[in-house]
Amino acid sequence: MFTVILAALLALSKIADAFIANSNGIIISSLSSGKSRISMISEATIGEDLPDYGQTSIEIDTHVLEKKSKWRRKDLYGKSLIEQTMEEIASNLEFQETSRRFKELGQEGMSREEKAQRRRALDSLGIPSFNEFLKTKVNSEHEGAGTHKDSITRQMPELLQLNVGLYCNQACGHCHVESSPLRQEMMTEDVASKCLELLVNTPSVHTLDITGGAPEMNASFRYLVSMARVLRPDLDIIDRCNLTVLQEPGQEDLLSFMVENRLHVIASLPCYSAKNVDTQRGGGVFERSISALLALNEAGYGQPNSGLTLDLVYNPLGAFLPPPQGSLESKYKEVLAADFGIVFNSLFTMTNMPVKRFADFLHRRDELKDYMDLLVRNFNTGTLSSLMCLNTVSVDYNGKIFDCDFNQQLGNSIDGQTVFDISSLDELQKHDITTDNHCFGCTAGMGSS
């Protein structure tokens, strides 16, 4: 077990947390108690042979912890990252290639191509579609038990996730919504107002999860948050924060806004290696992220009894599954406190979904087939009762409605509906959940949490 934890920590030092910062890639579920949770599957639900973690070609033995005496850099505040990000975009060949394909194929064409790649990978492994696989696997496991469950059925909506736009001050190498300062798509106040109306009309929703891009840079962000806080004082409002946004000009009062509205911050966790973070997320991002975490701590976030929650998320960037969450969290707490004086509430682990930039990343490295194989052989029926799509409604910046963020990224909306077509999220319960081969990512190991 220790080896696994150590490997995961060391791996973290070599990988970027592009998927971590990008909240679209993180699945939040919720408990009937009303508390949000990201991790859904307890270690006890994992069979003895799950997960097997797979293999990665990422080198994990060259980790160097940078020692530095002063991590809280107040002088960084008010200095934008955007100019530097734009320079990095201009010289990044992979970014140029993705932009070229985006122009040529459009979002829909890229999703189709990606889906075909996943299908080819599964065909070469002799694995049927996710839906067929689910039926066979679950029925065979429950044979004679009388409790067959071979489909995923929507339940009462408890979590509303809003992707308020793609604008971001960073352009991380593996951002799975391909955000950057070039992406100007943003949720309008009309769509935001309608979402607030749905929130009021759906009392079973106890969590509003706001994501982007850098959601705080969206024109409707503060309106959404402050109105939601007034309309539903009990609501758990999550801000998926990339941390460096706190230092952007015009965001000097962001931290006090977060405190005032009791935002629940879910933040990217920088690697321990500045070089690796900066390579993936942009020059200087590591130092800015550590400084932002310390600022959050100073404001009370992550501190005992403050009521201000600061959660971190870990995901592997290579083609392997995350280790058990509980043990990794303890190790993170120990290391972050010792090396930087950082405290936080919970660490959540997530499985990288084989969609968008990560699918591209695997395809380029010729690892997609191996990764799909890893996901399928770690299929765990214990994940089925906690899938994000069971109680979540995901809305994009245009107001289109989806089962989950991954279906949003793949353009699989719920019957083409928008927030303007319904008066309560309860109306969506009659629609089937659209599942496909990417869903193997949610059902592997401990689940994508």
CB of 391 to ligand SF4, least distance (A): 10
Smaller CB separation from ligand SF4, 111 or 435: 435
**Count of residues in the chain:** 449
Smaller CB separation from ligand SF4, 28 or 192: 28
Phi, psi of 186 (to 5 degrees): -145, 150
Tokens encoding 236: 């758990």
Q: DSSP letter at 442?
A: T
Contact 349, 315 (CB under 8 A): yes
Smaller CB separation from ligand SF4, 4 or 89: 89
DSSP string, 6-56: HHHHHHHHHS--HHHH-GGG---EE-TTS-EES--S-GGGS-TT-------
CB of 187 to ligand SF4, least distance (A): 15
Tokens encoding 446: 């401990």
**Interatomic CA distance for residues 71 and 93, integer angstroms:** 32
Q: Which residues lie near ligand SF4 (CB under 6 A)? A: 18, 21-22, 168, 170-172, 175, 179, 212-214, 242, 387-389, 403-404, 406-407, 433, 435, 438-439, 442
3-state per-residue secondary structure call for 213-272: CCHHHCCCHHHHHHHHHHHCCCCEEEEEECCHHHHCCCCCCHHHHHHHCCCEEEEECCCC
Burial class (CB in 10 A: 0-12, 13-18, 19+), 74: exposed
Smaller CB separation from ligand SF4, 217 or 237: 217
Smaller CB separation from ligand SF4, 224 or 245: 245
CB of 93 to ligand SF4, least distance (A): 17
Burial class (CB in 10 A: 0-12, 13-18, 19+), 211: buried
Contact 205, 316 (CB under 8 A): no
Smaller CB separation from ligand SF4, 235 or 388: 388
CB of 370 to ligand SF4, least distance (A): 20
**Interatomic CA distance for residues 393 and 216, integer angstroms:** 21
Owner of token pair 């998927």: 19
Smaller CB separation from ligand SF4, 277 or 294: 277
CB of 214 to ligand SF4, least distance (A): 6
**Interatomic CA distance for residues 71 and 66, integer angstroms:** 11
Tokens encoding 78: 């008010």
Rounded to 10°, the helix 325-340/285-298 angle is: 90
CB of 231 to ligand SF4, least distance (A): 27
CB of 69 to ligand SF4, least distance (A): 27
Smaller CB separation from ligand SF4, 196 or 393: 393
CB of 249 to ligand SF4, least distance (A): 17
**393, β-bridge pairs:** 160
Contacts 24+ apart (CB under 8 A), 363-370: 363/117, 365/57, 365/319, 367/57, 367/319, 368/117, 368/118, 368/121, 369/121, 369/124, 369/125, 370/54, 370/55, 370/319
H-helix or E-strand containing 364? helix 356-364
Smaller CB separation from ligand SF4, 232 or 438: 438
Smaller CB separation from ligand SF4, 309 or 407: 407
CB of 251 to ligand SF4, least distance (A): 14
Smaller CB separation from ligand SF4, 194 or 215: 215
CB of 444 to ligand SF4, least distance (A): 11
CB of 312 to ligand SF4, least distance (A): 14
